[in-house]
Amino acid sequence: RDLHRLIRRQRQMCIRDRVKEPYPSREYIEIMHELDIPIIFGSDSHDPAEVGYRFNELRKIVMEIGYTQLAHFHERKRTFIEL
């Protein structure tokens, strides 16, 4: 489990139809949780209608893994939002 490689590759979480699973994979999300790495959701949207696409499903997955909060940034300061 190369932490540096994991951090470089996993910038945001989303679920896309073509993959049918979260990105990063559930395995990576579990490793991130074990290492106490905060998470933030992203849509990878190319159209305004796609913003927040399938976030409810992603929320369920990360809560099953054990996450209770999402990271949130405002003016370069990190806070947390309860799931």
Residue 54's pLDDT is 79
Checking 1-5 for CB contacts under 8 A at 24+ apart, the result is 1/31, 3/35
d(CA 75, CA 11): 19
The predicted-structure confidence for 26-69, as pLDDT tens digits, reads as follows 888 899 899 999 988 877 777 888 787 778 888 999 999 999 99
For residue 19, pLDDT over 60 is answered with: no
- Tell me how many helices (H) and strands (E) the chain has: 3, 4
Nearest to 83 by CA among 27, 10, 33, 25: 33
pTM above 0.75, yes or no: no
Residue 15's pLDDT is 53
